[in-house]
Amino acid sequence: MKVMVVGSGAREHAIAWKISRSPLVDEIIVAPGNAGIAEIAKTFQINLTDIVSLADIAEQERVDFTIVGPELPLTLGIVDEFERRGLKIFGPKKSAAEIEGSKVFAKDFMKRHKIPTAKYFVANSAPEAEGLVNSGLLDYPLVIKADGLAGGKGSIICKDPGEAEQAINSIMREKIFGVAGERIIVEEFLRGEEITFMVVTDGYHAIPLASSMDYKKAFDGDQGPNTGGMGAISPSPSIRRALAKEIMENVIIPTLEGLKQEDRRYKGILYAGLMLTKKGIKVLEFNCRFGDPETQVVLLRMESDLLELLLSAEKGNLKNYKPKWSKRPSACVVLASRGYPGNYETGKVISGLENIHKFPGLVVFHGGTKRVNENIVTSGGRVLNVCSTGSSLSSCMNSIYNAIESINFEGMFFRRDIGRKVSE
């Protein structure tokens, strides 16, 4: 088969890397890709928002199957465009992807279908939002979220009315998230342990992927602003069989059933961001695609054929599929550009990647990189993902942090505590 992967980050590098090991694959193309992806696949420089050109390339290159990494093309309707042309593609249609594309839709959907989530209010203007945060309807701290896509950075925890008004001003007046902030949600702050749960689904059946735990805050000790993710480990120390069963019964199945009832049958990866509270599981958010960097650690542990699994989901034939997972843990640490998740620097030369082969069990997935002449330079906020599998989580972390000492670019920073508490 000829397979196309849509995306340009470390998640897409990991997907391309994994499917390159499938006996079903003859050739992989990636659009737009990055410097690391270009070493294992043919790349096409097409903007992720240009779903018509992406479909054109799939037709011209006679692609047999397409896998979509990021949420943006999914929410724009890339699956609808491909299927209209008779092209096979893995992911939810635009109507189903709205579960990530609009937090207001997702919260209202959960309310309609009695899926547990935090108490919330919707504001369509800054004055309305300011009235809500000063109304006493919610205690502090509270959470303010941009309605639309904000790259994992659209959620702000506010400890008092001053911080809430500052967040409203930034999102709705200064437009730091663009049109994503035209509406906001003012939400109850949930206390507990945050967990991730990903399933692959054909719309009728859902299969959980290996569990993982990601690290959203920018700095050690879970300090600083939210990011798209600064690292991950698998398996999650929190998700045991009983909890996984509860999540499937109380969150995943009701969500898929609800979407089907609303004529939004969901095929693809459904990612639930959850909070394990004293009152049970509550949904923080849904994503309509593979998590990043969770995918990297999950795929490192996958022993079965990823492409075979995704083809089965696309065909609506998941009922009896059972993927195989290694018992060996895996981990990932993100190397980021100075300034991320805010305004970050690019164009910095990366050195030391040629030394990575010296570290057994280690793989580096490229996020924001590009090749300029003989150099690989930074081109994004999350630049590289240094990942490893090993006999124990502590051995994974030691291997990763030893390897990071060999890599450098100006302004590079990373968390030094990924997996540390768990592995102690």
Whether 106 and 113 have beta carbons less than 8 Å apart is answered as no
Rounded-to-integer distance, Cα 273 and Cα 198, Å: 9
What is the per-residue pLDDT across 301-358, written as a single tens digit (0 to 9) for each? 999 999 999 999 999 889 888 999 999 999 999 999 999 998 999 999 999 999 888 8
Share of the chain above pLDDT 90, in %: 92
Which parts of the chain register pLDDT below 70?
423-424
Does residue 352 sit in helix, strand or coil?
coil
Q: What pLDDT sits at residue 360?
A: 85
What is the per-residue pLDDT across 285-313, written as a single tens digit (0 to 9) for each? 999 999 999 999 999 999 999 999 999 99
Among 120, 116, 115, smallest CA distance to 137 is for 120
Q: What pLDDT sits at residue 320?
A: 82
Does residue 296 sit in helix, strand or coil?
helix
Q: Kindly write down the DSSP assignment for every residue of 115-148, as one continuous string.
A: --B--EEEESSHHHHHHHHTTTSSPSSEEEEESS
Rounded-to-integer distance, Cα 47 and Cα 73, Å: 10
Whether 264 and 95 have beta carbons less than 8 Å apart is answered as yes
Rounded-to-integer distance, Cα 147 and Cα 133, Å: 17
Whether 201 and 266 have beta carbons less than 8 Å apart is answered as yes
Among 317, 324, 212, smallest CA distance to 267 is for 317
- What pTM, to 2 d.p., does this model score? 0.94
Q: What pLDDT sits at residue 424?
A: 54
What is the per-residue pLDDT across 56-86, written as a single tens digit (0 to 9) for each? 999 999 999 999 999 999 999 999 999 999 9
Q: What pLDDT sits at residue 423?
A: 55
Whether 140 and 279 have beta carbons less than 8 Å apart is answered as no
Q: What pLDDT sits at residue 361?
A: 86
| Mean pLDDT score of the chain | 95
Query: Is the bond preceding 341 in cis, omega lying within 30 degrees of 0?
Result: yes
Whether 67 and 4 have beta carbons less than 8 Å apart is answered as yes
SS3 content of the chain, % helix, strand, coil (to 5): 35, 30, 40
